[in-house]
Amino acid sequence: MTPLDAATHADPYAYYAGLRRADGLHFDADLGMWLASRAQTVEAVLAHPECRVRPLHEPVPCAIAQGAAGQVFARLMRMNEGAAHRCPRAVIEPALAALNARHVADAVTQLSAGMGGLDEWMFRLPVSVVAHLLGVPDEQLHNTAALTRDFVACLSPLSNEKQLRNADFAASQLQQMFSGVLEETVLFARIRNTRWEDARAVNPNLIGLLSQTCEATAGLIGNTLVMLARRPELVERVQRTPTLATALVAEVARYDSPVQNTRRFVAARCTVGGRIVEAGDTILVVLAAANRDPDANPDPDDFQLERLQRRVFSFGSGNHQCPGQALALNLAAQAILEVLRRQPSVLASVANFGYWPSLNGRIPRFDAVP
Ligand code: HEM
């Protein structure tokens, strides 16, 4: 196994335990990358100012640099450091934090009507909820979710030519949508009406909210359904006490993360995780391995709803830590409650599944198995 195919392996956790046994940062000569897998090392890399989200020589991946998808990518706070990261973050983080949990729950209920196929619903619902909170009119939500999925494909090194072309089309459509007249919502007003240092960064970062939501939240919902199918006693507990749904998705996020790894690119020679790394080096930060580090979470291989002081690395840490964590957990918890209310029988069809191809996302695909 490699740390890249581990993301979609049936059970990568014994392999990750082996990675953690290696000291601090460890060089994988086959992949040509450093690996960080212990909680302490993962935190150190994500906090280090010379470990950047993009390689210095390639701020936008060459494959998309010339098109509309590249123009959006170039302004995403997720893909920038310095002012181009700080300024959007200063607006977006408090706007997401101020979201009302009840509004999110109501949106999940409203938009789950006519659920349809599980795979399609898992991807469509989270993006539709965030788009709805951003003021996208109801009749455009379906298309917005489809366009977001097309745009997200360009972020994966596995995408083919056709997917890259579709991502360009989707990026221009989404840009147009956010430039048009949208319904005034609290979230939209908070983001739009704040003074932006670079007004050209507003729309790309609204698209960024949709694209960051898309696969990760689908993965969290899917991995929670898998857990419920494997442990029917959890279904009973959550049905009896629905408030446990948030603890359920939080523990799934730790135990079987939808985002298994992220990357950092070294900008200048420095020491991190007890090793000297050179400018140009790549570090694979194995978040899912850190989640199971016994130094961060006692008895890490036990799935515990009531885990005290749960430490979850799935949302990153440091400057780029996910500002959508609370929203994602709330959204996924409400989505799971909808399944249990509307169609608990789907859990029977969840036992057999594969994963969508990915080098870092762990997203179950339920229709893949006959
Ligand atoms: C289960 C769902 C989610 C997971 C596991 C997740 C995970 C992550 C991770 C690991 C990062 C940091 C990546 C890195 O540092 O390399 C991140 C960043 C980010 N996430 Fe999430 N995310 C989720 C949902 C969301 C949602 C719902 C939103 C917003 C509506 C969101 C918005 C963002 C943004 C804007 C960033 C970039 C932050 C920055 O660069 O400062 N995420 N997310």
What's the pLDDT score for residue 269? 98
| CA trace torsion 323, 74, 6, 23 (10° rounding) | -80
The answer to whether the CB of 203 falls within 8 A of the CB of 275 is no
The arithmetic mean of pLDDT across residues 179-202, rounded, is 89
Q: What is the pLDDT of residues 209-266, one digit of tens each?
A: 999 999 999 999 999 999 999 999 999 999 999 999 999 999 999 999 999 999 999 9
DSSP structural state of residue 39: H
Tokens of 32: 């040509």
Instruction: Give the per-residue pLDDT at 358.
Output: 97
Question: Does residue 216 have its Cβ closer than 6 Å to ligand 1?
Answer: yes
Residue 269 corresponds to which tokens in the numbers above?
């020679």
Residues of the domain holding 340: 5-368
Task: Tell me the residue type at 67.
Answer: G
Residue nearest to atom 36 of ligand 1 (CA): 322
Q: Tell me the average pLDDT across 57-64.
A: 96
Rounded mean pLDDT, 6-13 = 98
Q: Residue 22: pLDDT band by 50, 70, 90 thresholds?
A: confident
**Chain segment 277-329, per-residue pLDDT in tens:** 999 999 999 999 999 999 999 999 999 999 999 999 999 999 999 999 999 99
The residues, ordered by sequence, that sit 6+ positions from 274 with a Cβ below 8 Å of its Cβ are 23, 24, 25, 41
Query: For residue 47, what pLDDT is reported?
Result: 98
Residue 328 Cβ < 6 Å to ligand 1: yes
CB of 217 closer than 6 A to ligand 1? yes
pLDDT at 368: 62
CA of 80 to the centre of ligand 1 (A): 14
What are the tokens at 325? 């964590």
How are beta strands 282-285 and 33-36 bridged, if at all? parallel
- Asked if pLDDT for residue 134 goes beyond 70, the answer is yes
Examine the pLDDT at 133 and tell me if it is beyond 60: yes
Measuring from atom 1 of ligand 1, which residue has the nearest CA? 217
Among the listed ranges 61-65, 195-199, 289-293, which one has the minimum average pLDDT value? 195-199
Residue 27, φ and ψ in degrees, nearest 5: -90, 125
Determine the distance separating the centroid of ligand 1 and the alpha carbon of 329, expressed in angstroms. Answer: 12
**pLDDT tens digits for range 217-227:** 999 999 999 99
Whether pLDDT at 127 is above 90: yes
How many whole angstroms separate alpha carbon 6 and alpha carbon 235?
28
Closest ligand 1 atom, residue 46 Cα: 15
Give 349's pLDDT tier (boundaries 50, 70, 90).
Answer: confident
Residue 332 has pLDDT above 60, yes or no: yes
Percent of the chain exceeding pLDDT 90 equals 88
- Which CATH number covers residue 337? 1.10.630.10
Q: Give pLDDT tens digits for 104-124.
A: 999 999 999 876 789 999 999
Q: What is the spatial distance between Cα 329 and Cα 49, in angstroms, rounded to a whole number?
A: 29
Res 370: pLDDT:
43
